[in-house]
Structure 1
Amino acid sequence: MKILEVAQKLWMKLNLRGMIVMSLSLQVILIFLAPIRKRSSNWWIIMLTWSSYLIADWIADYAFGLLAKAQFYGGTSEPKANALLAFWAPFLLLHLGGPDTITAFALEDNELWLRHLLNLLFQLGAAGYVFYQSLPNNKLIFPTILMFIGGIIKYIERTRALHLASLSKFRGSLLKSPDAGPNYAKLMEECSSKQKANIPAKIEIMPEPDLESLDDLEDKEAKKAASGNREAIDETNSENEDAGKAALGDREAIQKAFFYFTTFKGLLVDLIFSFRERNESKKFFRSIDAKDAFCVIEAELNFFYDVLYTKAAVVHRPVGYLFRAISIGSVITAFAFFYVLNKHGFHEYDIRITYTLLLGAVGLEFVALIMLICSDWTIARLKRFQKDHKGGTFIEFLLKFKSEGSSFALRILHPRWSKSIFQYNLIDSRLERWPKFEKLLDWVSLGELFDDLKFRRPEQCRDELRELIFAELQRKSFAADDTERIKEMCAARGKWALENLKDLLPFVHEVDYGESLLLWHIATELCDNADTDESTNTISDRVNSKVLSNYMLHLMIKQPAMMSAVAGIGQIRFRDTCAELDKFIDENISSESKVNRSTREGSKPKDRKAEVRESLLAVPTGVKPVAVKGDRSKSALFDACILAKKLQEIPNKDKWKIICHVWVELLGYAAIHCRPYNHAQQLSKGGELVTLVWLLMVQLGLSEQFQIVEGHARAKLIVHKNWVSCQVEEG
C-alpha cells in the first residue's frame, strides 16, 4: 500500500507539472498560429488552430483540478511546496484568458460567452481555494496576488470580447436611440385650426438639401453609364488618370478602411443604411483604382475579423489600454519579486517550472503588446496625431515595420487574406475518379473528405481578375442611380453581358441560378477546347473566365452555405450531371479511344480531356434534351453543349469578353445574395473572393440595404406668405 501511495504522489507531481507546461505551450502556439488562419486556407493550419483552441481550455481546467487535489495530498507538511502550487494557480487563469489573437474559433463560440462567464467564477473559486490552502505560511502572497490581478483581467477581457461579438449584443450596440420624429399631432392641429378659421394655410415639405446636389459631381458619368454603356467607366477612369490622382498609401488605405468599417459594421446583422452613407462610400470608391479599392476592402474585412474573433474590440479602448498596462505591470512585478526571493527550501525542478511560467507570461505579454502597437487599429486611431510630425513619423515606422520587415516572418504575416481562389472542374473530377476506391470510402463516410483533398486546387487572385471585377462593378454603380435600378443590378446574373445577344439570354433568364452556373461552367470548358486565338486580350479573358468558372463551381459544391440563398437544387442537378457525364465517358471515350490513345507517340493525360470535350461538341443537339429525356433527370450536360455551340458562333475576342462578364455577374449575384453571417464565417478560414466582392458591391451602393431616406427635411406651415410653424429636424 505504501508503494502505491508513493507511486500515486509521484504521478500526481509529474502529471500536474506536465499539464501546466502544456497549457503554456498551447498559449504560445495560439498567439502565433491564430493570426495566420485569416491569411491562409491550408486545412492543416485550421485543424491545428482548432485542436489547440479546444485543448487549451480543457488542459487548464484539468490542471486546476490537479492543483486542488495536490493541496489535499500535500497538506501543511510542505508549506513552500503549497506556496508554489498556489502561485501556479493564477497562471492557469492567465491561460484561460487566452491570447489577444483568438477569442473564438467560429462565430458560434461567441454565443457561449455566458458559459465562459460561469467558468470564470468557478475557476476563480478553485484558484482561491488553492491559495487559501497555502495560508498562513505562504511567502509568495504578494506575487500570487499580482498574478491573480493579471489572470482575472485577461479572463474578463476574453469573456467581454465574446459577449460583444455575440449577434444579439453586436446588433444592440449598433441600434440608434429611439426617435419619435417630429411633432406630427401639434403641426396638424395648428394647420386644421387655421383652416377652420378660414385662414389660408397649407403644409409644405422643404426638400432635403443633399438630395438636390446628390450627384452634382457625377452627373456626367452617371448619365452615360445609366444606358449600360461600358465606355463610360473607361472614360471616367481615363479622366482620373489624366487628373494625376495619386494612389492611396498604406496609411490612407487603413484609415479609410477603419472609417467605412465603423460606418458599415451593421452589415453583419442586416441593418440598413441611409443615402448619405451610400453616397459617401460610392463617391470614394468610384474615384480610386482596383488596386486601392481591394486594399481598402481587405483592410476593412480585417477589422471585421478582429471584432468577431479577437480581443480587439475590448483592448483598443482607453479602458482596455489601462487594464492592459495593469496586467503587464502585474506580471513583470511578480516576476521581479520571485527573482529576488530567497528560494531556499523549494525544489529545483519546481523553481525551473516557475521560471518557465513567468518567462512565458512576460514573453506572451510583450508579444501581445507589440501586436497591439503594430496593428491596423493603432494606425487608424492615430489619425488625429498625423498632423504632428512625430505622430506621422511613428505611423510611417509602423507601416514600414509591417510591410517591409527585414524578417521573412513579418512579410508572411502582412497579407490580410489568403488570396487563394479554389478551383473545382467538373470534367477533371469525372476523369480522375476511382470508382471502386471511392465507393469504399463512401461506405465508411470518408468520400467527401477524400474528394476535398484530391481536388483542393487553389489559384492566386491575379491583378487582372481584380481589375476586371472592379471595372464591371463600377460600371453597374454608375448605372444604379435609383432604388429600382439598384434592385435590377443586384438581380442581374448575365443580363448586362448578354444585352445584345437575345439567343443567349434564356440560358440565364429561363433557368434557376444553380442550373445557369452549371451550364456556363461546362460551356466555358467546351469553348476553351476549341479556341486557338492566342492574342493577349483573349488569353487574359479566357484565363479569367476559367478561374471564375471553376471557383463558382467550387463554391456551389464545397461551400454550399455560401450559395444556399441562390443555388436552389444545385446539388441534385450537379449529381445528375456527373452521372450523365460518367455514362457518356464510359460509353463514348473509354472504349472507343483507348486503343487510339495508346498508339499515339508522346500522349499526355490532357489528351483524354480534349477528347471528352470534342466528343461532347460532336453530339447532335437539334432537339432540346428535356424533349427526349423528360424531366426525371436534372442533368444540364447537353443543354450546356447547346450553349457552347451558340457561343462558338461568336468571334473569339468578343466571345471570351462576353463569357468573362457573365461570370462576373454570376459572382456578384452570389455575393450580394449570400447571408452576411456566412461571409463573416469565412474570415477565419483564409477569406473568400466572393466576400470581398460582397463588401465592394455594398461600398459601391449595389445593395438593397440602403433604404432609409433620412435628413434635415423641414415641414413648414405656410399662412399667406409667412413662415409661422414648426421646424422638423432629424433625430
Structure 2
Amino acid sequence: MQVIPPEIKKILDKWNIRGLVIMSLLFQTSLIFLAPLRKRTSKKWLAVVLWTAYLLADWTANYAVSQITKNQGKEPEPGDPPKNKKLLALWAPFLLLHLGGPDTITALALEDNALWQRHLFGLVSQALAGVYAVVQSLENVLWPPIVLLFITGTIKYVERTRALYSASLDKFKDRMLKPADTGPNYAKLMEEYDSKKKSNLPTEIFLTKEPDKHERPPTLVRPDREYLTDLEIVQYGFKFFNTFKGLVVDLIFSFRERDESRDFFKELKPGEALRIIETELGFLYESMYTKTAILHSKTGTLFRLIAFGSLLSSFFVFHRRPLKYDDFHEADVVITYILYIVGIALDLASMVIFLLSDWTFALRKLKDDPEEGESSIDSLLNWFLGFRKPRWKKHTCNGNQTHEVLTTGFFSRRWSGTVYGFNFIGFCLKAKVSRIHQKRNCKLLVWDSVVSILDKVIRSIQMLVGWIRDGNRSVRSVLRQRSKKNPFFRYTVYLLYLVFFAGVPGVFVVLWDYIDRIFSVKAYLEEIRFISREPLTKNQWEFIFYELKDKSDFAEKPEVAKKVSWARGEWALRDTKVAEIDRLMLYIENVDYDQSLLLWHIATELCFQKQEGDEEIENLSGESYDDREFSKIISDYMMYLLIMRPKLMSEVAGIGTIRFRDTKAEAERFFKGRHIKDLRDMKRASETVLSVNNKIEPMLVKGDRSKSVLFEASMLAKELGNLKETSNGDGKWRVLSKVWVELLCYAASHCKATEHVAQLSRGGELLSFVWLLMAHFGLADQFQINKGDARAKLVVGK
C-alpha cells in the first residue's frame, strides 16, 4: 500500500529540485529587502518572517544541492531531454551563491557570529558537493558559465564567513587590542644604574610623566556654526564608533580618548548628540549583523567587483553559447534565466545599498579646518543624507502643552524611535493605558480597534471559563454527596462525569499550558494588550542630555565618575533644595534597585493619577508639566524593561520578578476587596490606595515574607505630595524627573554591552542611547582616567 499516490509522487520527483531552487531564490530576495527593516522596528511579525526565511534559506539550498548531486547519478527517465542533467549541474553554483547570503544580513542574532567555524565547514562541504555534481555531469558544454558561477558563489560564501568571523566577540576584541607595552627596560636600566654607582658617579633616575590633558592641543573642534552638517554628523559618528566600539568587549580606554569625547560632546546641541549616537549605533549594527564592514575595504570592494563581473560574464556566456534547446526542458531553461536575471538584479540592488551606506559617506575624511567651505561633493553628499535626518513634529498634549515628537519616516529611520511602557496599576486592573502623545492616523485607529476587540474576546473567554469552573465545582460537590449514599450512582453517573466533564477539560488545560510554555502565547497577548508606545520627544532627550552633561563636570577623578554613574537617585535628591530629602532618601539608599524601581514607579503613577484633572493640569507651569510627562513615560519605560525585557536588566533585576508578583497579588486582592477591580478605573484605584492609613509601616504589620511594596509606594507618594515647589522650580515633578534619569542611567551602565548590541537588531532602545551618551561624557567604568605610565630616565651628573 502506497501512502503517496503514484501520480503525486511522480509530480514531486519531477518538480522537487525546481521547487527548491525557486524557493531558495525567493528566500534570498525576501532577506535582502526585509533584513534592513529590523533595525527600524521591533514588530513581532517581521522577526518571525526573518527567522523563518533565514533558517529555511540555508536548509533549502543545502537540500537542493544534495538532490542535484543525487539526480546526476540516476539514469535518465524515459522522455527526458538527453542533456537536461547538464543544465541542472549549472544550478549547483547558483545554490552556493545563495548560501553566501545577502549583504544585508549575515547573523540573525549576535550568537550566530560565534558559529563562523560551522559556516567555514559548510563552505568547504557545499563547494565539494557542487564540484561533485558538476564532475558527474561531464562532459558538459556549460562548463565555462559553471566555472564563472563557482567564482561568484565562492566569493559570496567567503564574504559571509569572513563577516561572521570578524563579528565574533573574541576576534572583534583581538583586532582592537593595541600592541603590548612593556615600558622601560627595567633590568637594563638597573644594570646601568649599578655600574654608574660602582664607578662613584653621581647618578639619579628621573621619571618623565606623560603630558597632561591641558598640555595637549584639542584634536576635535566643533565648527563655529549653528548646526553640524549631515555629512559631519556621519563622519563624527564613524570616528567615535571606531573609538568606542571597544565598549562591546569591555576594553579599557585612555583618559585622552575620554577627554576628547567629553570636550566635544559638551559643545554639541542635544539634537546633534542624538544624531551622532544613532549613527554610531548604526555602524555597530552593520558591523555585527551584515557584510557592510568587510565590503567597505579595498579587498572587499575588489572581490565584490570580481564576483559581480563573474556573474555577469557567466550570464553572457550562457546566453550567447549556441545551444540546442531540444536537449533541455523548456521549464528548466526558463528557471535558469530567472536565476541569472534575479541574481544580477539583487547584486545591483546590493551595490546601491552599498553606495548609499553611511560607511561610504564616512570614508570622506573630516576637514582639518572645520570652518572650510563646502565643496560640490560635500553638498551632494549632504543632499543624500538629508533624507535620513530625524523628523520632529509638534504635538499638542493635555493642558495645551506643545511638544516636538520624533516622527521620522519608516524607511528613513535609523532606529524605532519608540519608548515603550508597562504600567503596574493598569496591568492589575487589566485596563488599557492611553498614550500621552496620541498619533491621529488611520493605521493607529485600526490597530487600537483590533486590540480592543482582542481584549474583549479574551475577557469574555476568561469570564466564560470562570463561570464553567464555578458551575463545575457546584455540580461536582452535589454529585459527590449523592455518590456517597448510592454506590451504583458512584460507579456510573459520577464516574462518567469525572471522565467527560472534568477529565476532558483538564486535558485541554494541560495541553494549553504546554503550548504556552513553548510559544509564550500569554506573554505575547499581554504584550499586545498592556504595552504602551510613546514616540521620543525632543524635551525628554534634552533633559537627559543636560542632566548627564552637568554630571560630567564632576567626573574628573575615577572614583567620582564611578560614584556619579552609579547613582540611583541619591545624587539627584541631594541636588534639589527641598526640605524632605532625608525621608525620600530612605526609599533609595535602604532598598535594592529592583525594589526602588517598583516603589518609585507605583508612587509616580499614584501622583500622576491624583493630578489627572484637567484644571489641575492646566494650572501647572510649562516646566512642571514637562517634568510630569517625562516622569510618567520613563517610569513606565523602566517597568517595561524590568518585566518585559529582563535580559537587559539581568545585572540589576535582583528578585524583581518575585517582588512584582507579590505586589501584583496584593494589589489585585485589595482592588477586589474594594470592588473596583472590574471597573478598570485607574484614577479611582489610585485614590483608593492613597486613602489607606499609613501611620504604621507595612513591614511591621506584614513581616518580610511577602515582598510586596504596594503600600510602601503609597507612603512614598504621600511624601512626594507634601513637597512644596521652591523658588528655583524644585518641586514634586522636578524631583521625580531627576530621580528617574538616574535610575535610567544606572540601568544603562549596568546592562551587559552585548545586550545593548543584541537590541539593535530589534529596533533599538532608548537605554542604549543613554549608555553611549554616558560613555561620551566620561561616565563609564571603562575609562582609565588617571595619567599614563611615567617613563624612567637615567641622568649621570658631572
The TM-score bracket by the shorter chain reads 0.7 to 0.9
Name the counterpart of 2:340. 358
Is 1:118 the counterpart of 2:100? The answer is: no
Shift of 1:10: 3.7
User: 2:654 aligns to what SS in structure 1?
Assistant: coil
Name the counterpart of 1:423. 421
Name the counterpart of 2:776. 699
Contact 2:554 2:560 in 1 (8 A): yes
> Any idea what the Cα deviations from partners look like across 1:652-674, whole Å, max 9, x if unmatched?
66211110110010000000011
Name the counterpart of 1:347. 329
> Any idea what the Cα deviations from partners look like across 1:419-477, whole Å, max 9, x if unmatched?
11111000001111856689966575233232222223221111111111111111111
Shift of 1:286: 0.7
CA separation of 1:60 and 1:718: change in aligned 2, threshold 3 A:
same
CA distance in structure 1 between the partners assigned to 2:338 and 2:362 by the alignment = 36
CA distance in structure 2 between the partners assigned to 1:437 and 1:359 by the alignment = 57
User: 2:648 aligns to what SS in structure 1?
Assistant: helix
Contact 2:219 2:260 in 1 (8 A): no
Is 1:572 the counterpart of 2:634? The answer is: no
Is 1:256 the counterpart of 2:236? The answer is: yes
User: 1:717 aligns to what SS in structure 2?
Assistant: strand
Name the counterpart of 1:294. 274
Name the counterpart of 1:656. 733
CA distance in structure 1 between the partners assigned to 2:409 and 2:665 by the alignment = 46
Equivalent residue letter for 2:378: G
Name the counterpart of 1:230. none
Equivalent residue letter for 1:260: F
Name the counterpart of 2:395. none
Contact 1:385 1:392 in 2 (8 A): no
CA separation of 1:663 and 1:74: change in aligned 2, threshold 3 A:
farther
Shift of 1:205: 1.7
Shift of 1:193: 4.0
CA distance in structure 2 between the partners assigned to 1:366 and 1:397 by the alignment = 22
> Any idea what the Cα deviations from partners look like across 1:516-560, whole Å, max 9, x if unmatched?
000100000011122224332222111111110000000000111
CA distance in structure 2 between the partners assigned to 1:186 and 1:437 by the alignment = 87
Name the counterpart of 1:62. 63
Moved more, 251-260 or 73-82: 73-82
Query: Which of the numbers 513, 524, 530 marks the counterpart of 2:604?
Result: 524
User: 1:98 aligns to what SS in structure 2?
Assistant: coil
Shift of 1:103: 0.3
CA distance in structure 2 between the partners assigned to 1:566 and 1:4 by the alignment = 60
Name the counterpart of 1:502. 582
Name the counterpart of 2:670. 584
Matching of residues 68-83 of structure 1 within 5 Å: 68-75=69-76, 78-83=81-86
CA distance in structure 1 between the partners assigned to 2:357 and 2:538 by the alignment = 26
Contact 1:109 1:162 in 2 (8 A): yes
CA separation of 1:712 and 1:613: change in aligned 2, threshold 3 A:
closer
Shift of 1:711: 4.7
CA distance in structure 1 between the partners assigned to 2:597 and 2:537 by the alignment = 22
Name the counterpart of 2:791. 714
Shift of 1:650: 1.2
Shift of 1:7: 6.3
Contact 2:90 2:146 in 1 (8 A): yes
Contact 2:422 2:531 in 1 (8 A): yes
Shift of 1:197: 4.9
User: 1:179 aligns to what SS in structure 2?
Assistant: coil
Matching of residues 236-247 of structure 1 within 5 Å: 245-247=225-227
Equivalent residue letter for 1:188: M
Matching of residues 169-208 of structure 1 within 5 Å: 169-208=171-210
Name the counterpart of 2:378. 392
Moved more, 376-385 or 271-280: 376-385
Shift of 1:355: 1.2
> Any idea what the Cα deviations from partners look like across 1:475-524, whole Å, max 9, x if unmatched?
11111111111011121010121105222111111101000000100000
Shift of 1:702: 0.3
User: 1:561 aligns to what SS in structure 2?
Assistant: coil
User: 1:716 aligns to what SS in structure 2?
Assistant: strand
CA distance in structure 1 between the partners assigned to 2:255 and 2:169 by the alignment = 25
Contact 2:96 2:150 in 1 (8 A): yes
Is 1:676 the counterpart of 2:753? The answer is: yes
CA distance in structure 2 between the partners assigned to 1:522 and 1:273 by the alignment = 39
Is 1:17 the counterpart of 2:18? The answer is: yes
> Any idea what the Cα deviations from partners look like across 1:39-89, whole Å, max 9, x if unmatched?
111111111111111111111111112212222335598453112101111
Shift of 1:153: 0.6
Name the counterpart of 1:380. 362
User: 1:202 aligns to what SS in structure 2?
Assistant: strand
CA distance in structure 2 between the partners assigned to 1:660 and 1:575 by the alignment = 26
CA distance in structure 1 between the partners assigned to 2:654 and 2:464 by the alignment = 30
CA distance in structure 2 between the partners assigned to 1:249 and 1:640 by the alignment = 47
> Any idea what the Cα deviations from partners look like across 1:309-349, whole Å, max 9, x if unmatched?
00122211100000000111111112222222344223221
Name the counterpart of 1:625. 698
| Cα RMSD (Å) | 2.8
Shift of 1:289: 1.0
CA distance in structure 2 between the partners assigned to 1:458 and 1:173 by the alignment = 39
Name the counterpart of 1:237. none
CA distance in structure 2 between the partners assigned to 1:646 and 1:21 by the alignment = 67
Query: Which of the numbers 679, 683, 690 marks the counterpart of 2:767?
Result: 690
Moved more, 297-306 or 710-719: 710-719
Equivalent residue letter for 1:204: F
CA distance in structure 1 between the partners assigned to 2:49 and 2:686 by the alignment = 41
Is 1:328 the counterpart of 2:308? The answer is: yes
Moved more, 345-354 or 517-526: 345-354
Shift of 1:93: 0.7
> Any idea what the Cα deviations from partners look like across 1:252-284, whole Å, max 9, x if unmatched?
111111111111111111111100110111111
User: 2:363 aligns to what SS in structure 1?
Assistant: helix
CA separation of 1:18 and 1:255: change in aligned 2, threshold 3 A:
same
Shift of 1:155: 0.7
Is 1:512 the counterpart of 2:598? The answer is: no
Moved more, 119-128 or 543-552: 119-128
Shift of 1:709: 4.7
User: 1:73 aligns to what SS in structure 2?
Assistant: coil
Is 1:135 the counterpart of 2:221? The answer is: no
CA distance in structure 1 between the partners assigned to 2:341 and 2:218 by the alignment = 62
Contact 1:96 1:155 in 2 (8 A): yes
CA distance in structure 1 between the partners assigned to 2:119 and 2:794 by the alignment = 58
User: 2:599 aligns to what SS in structure 1?
Assistant: helix
Query: Which of the numbers 688, 709, 721 marks the counterpart of 1:615?
Result: 688
Contact 2:160 2:291 in 1 (8 A): yes
Name the counterpart of 1:459. 534
User: 2:573 aligns to what SS in structure 1?
Assistant: coil
Contact 2:419 2:533 in 1 (8 A): yes
Name the counterpart of 2:486. none
Query: Which of the numbers 232, 243, 257 marks the counterpart of 1:277?
Result: 257
User: 1:498 aligns to what SS in structure 2?
Assistant: helix
CA distance in structure 1 between the partners assigned to 2:74 and 2:367 by the alignment = 58
Moved more, 184-193 or 480-489: 184-193
Name the counterpart of 1:487. 562
Shift of 1:695: 0.8
> Any idea what the Cα deviations from partners look like across 1:194-213, whole Å, max 9, x if unmatched?
44555443322233223454
> Any idea what the Cα deviations from partners look like across 1:557-600, whole Å, max 9, x if unmatched?
01111111112111111111101101110001338xx8xx8xxx
Equivalent residue letter for 1:249: T
> Any idea what the Cα deviations from partners look like across 1:128-175, whole Å, max 9, x if unmatched?
111112211x22211111111111110110011111111111111111
Contact 2:609 2:682 in 1 (8 A): no
CA distance in structure 2 between the partners assigned to 1:404 and 1:542 by the alignment = 25
Shift of 1:382: 2.3
User: 2:582 aligns to what SS in structure 1?
Assistant: coil
Query: Which of the numbers 539, 543, 551 marks the counterpart of 1:476?
Result: 551
Equivalent residue letter for 1:21: I
CA distance in structure 1 between the partners assigned to 2:666 and 2:424 by the alignment = 12
Structure 1 unmatched ranges of 5 or more: 219-239, 598-604, 723-731
CA distance in structure 1 between the partners assigned to 2:683 and 2:273 by the alignment = 39
Shift of 1:713: 4.3
CA distance in structure 2 between the partners assigned to 1:132 and 1:216 by the alignment = 64
User: 1:631 aligns to what SS in structure 2?
Assistant: coil
